[in-house]
Amino acid sequence: MTEADILAETYWHRMEIRGTMEVKKPWGETVIEDDVLKGSDIPCSFSVGIGRNTTQTEGPNDIAYDGKVFCRPDVNVITGDSITVTFENGWIRKFVANEPMYYPSHIEIPVTREGTG
């Protein structure tokens, strides 16, 4: 069992990654498309960071905070990808990926959540 396998035992959440990719069309042309599904049902772990400028409003409250997503080192994610995490308890949260840090045993993906809660 490798170190990546051992760490993967702690990945109780699941994520979906969407982003910009080169896509080969049936007629042979390669084009760049946005919002392409790059992976789904990917095991991951999440660590919440410090909240930033959370704003109380009369409608839904604006929420912004930073966190980190951890996953296996063979996952394809780049800066700007959209990551949707489904937590073990069923909560679903959307994030934007910042520059991922690749290690032999895992990837640490700094993420920013912005939305309403």
Q: How confident is the model at residue 109 (pLDDT cuts 50, 70, 90)?
A: very high
Backbone angles phi, psi at 68, to 5 degrees: -135, 135
Please say if the pLDDT value at position 97 is more than 80. yes
Query: How does pLDDT run across 21-80, given as a tens digit for each residue?
Result: 888 899 989 999 999 999 999 999 999 876 665 556 666 666 778 899 999 999 999 999
Domains and CATH numbers, the chain: 3-116 (2.40.10)
Contact 17, 43 (CB under 8 A): no
pLDDT at position 61, please?
A: 66
Residue 45 tokens read as 């772990």
pLDDT at 1 over 60: yes
Q: Is 65 exposed, middle or buried (0-12, 13-18, 19+ CB in 10 A)?
A: middle
Q: What pLDDT does 87 receive?
A: 96
Query: What is d(CA 52, CA 67) in angstroms, rounded to the nearest whole number?
Result: 11
Burial of 85 (0-12, 13-18, 19+ CB in 10 A): buried
pTM summary value = 0.84
